[in-house]
Amino acid sequence: MLKVENLNVHYGVIHALKDVSIEVEQGKIVSLIGSNGAGKTTLLRTISGLIKPTSGSITFEGNDIITVAPQQLPMRGLVHVPEGRRIFSGLTVMENLQMGAYLRKDKAGIKEDLDKVFKRFEILYSRRNQDASTLSGGEQQMLAISRALMAKPRLLLMDEPSMGLAPLLVKEIFNIIREINSQGTTVLLVEQNAMQALKIADWAYVLETGSIVLGGTGEELLSSPEIQKVYLGG
């Protein structure tokens, strides 16, 4: 579904991504783990068109998307939930959700998807008329995910969805990711919580200082002594 080949990204003289190649199969959860500064967010931002690579290729469902404007990608089914949630403050919860569906014309479908969001996250329904900036961190993350789902993505890029959340909420967020995937959405997940990311992953990659150094099933990486030592505190 998504194929990244020999991708290079530079920030001035800094070589942020070095010949990165990954694949994401349709219907799967693919996790990308690595330490801070490894290039994980840069990779997602390059896939979603926010950063232009120096070289390499990115294809989504067989089509080159490097030249596609970022705002056009949601129409193609690729949606990005950025690090730090980035909800629209000054807009209500409902208005944030409606912004997620701004490209859609199917009013009945939008209403149906809003109903699904509010059924899944009752707290968002009870706060639908509140300014989104008044929500707690966990509620904002639920809103960011829900806003992305309103665009009906076929591939969802998620950047550090559990960052800054209490352990109980972290568990809930990963359950939500599983549920989204079980309903047919493919997920590329960047996550600092390596244990949880590998537990739900069909496939996973390890990114270190801009290079992919390891790939395998989530189970394989969980049981790797090297991964346990570096990322899982083993």
pLDDT, tens digit, for every residue of 58-69? 999 999 999 999
Mean pLDDT over 161-178 rounds to 86
> Rounded mean pLDDT of 217-221?
94
Q: Which domain holds residue 58?
A: 2-87+153-231
Establish if 223 belongs to a structural domain. Answer: yes
Angle, CA 161 vertex, CA 160 and CA 162 arms, to 5°: 95
For the cut 80, the answer to whether the pLDDT of residue 85 exceeds it is no
| In-domain check, residue 13 | yes
In a domain, 79, yes or no: yes
- What is the number of domains present in the chain? 1
| Lowest-confidence segment of 57-66, 94-103, 153-162, 190-199 by average pLDDT | 94-103
Q: Are 1 and 63 in contact (CB under 8 A)?
A: no
pLDDT of 184 > 90? The answer is yes
Least confident of 21-25, 54-58, 167-171: 167-171
Q: 143 in a domain, yes or no?
A: no
**Bigger pLDDT: 8 or 234?**
8
Give the closest residue to 48 by CA, choosing from 15, 9, 82.
82
Q: What is the mean pLDDT of the chain?
A: 91
**CA dihedral angle for residue 127, residue 130, residue 136, residue 141, rounded to 10 degrees:** 80
Q: Report pLDDT for 219.
A: 94
Question: Residue 73 is part of a domain; what is its CATH number?
Answer: 3.40.50.300
Label residue 3 left, alpha or beta by phi (over 0 means left) and psi (-120 to 50 means alpha): beta
- pLDDT(189) > 80: yes
pLDDT score of 86 more than 70: yes
Is the predicted pLDDT of residue 233 greater than 70, yes or no?
no
Please report, as a single letter, which amino acid is at residue 145: I
DSSP string computed for 37-57: TSSHHHHHHHHTTSS--SEEE
Residues 26-43: tens digit of each pLDDT: 999 999 999 888 999 999
CB 170 within 8 A of CB 193: yes
140: in domain: no
What is the mean predicted confidence (pLDDT) over 180-185? 93
Query: Does residue 50 lie in a domain region?
Result: yes
pLDDT in tens, 100-156: 888 788 889 899 989 888 988 888 999 899 999 999 888 888 899 899 989 899 999
Residue 103 confidence (pLDDT): 77
Does the residue 111 lie in any domain?
A: no
Is 138 a domain residue?
A: no
pLDDT of residue 162: 87
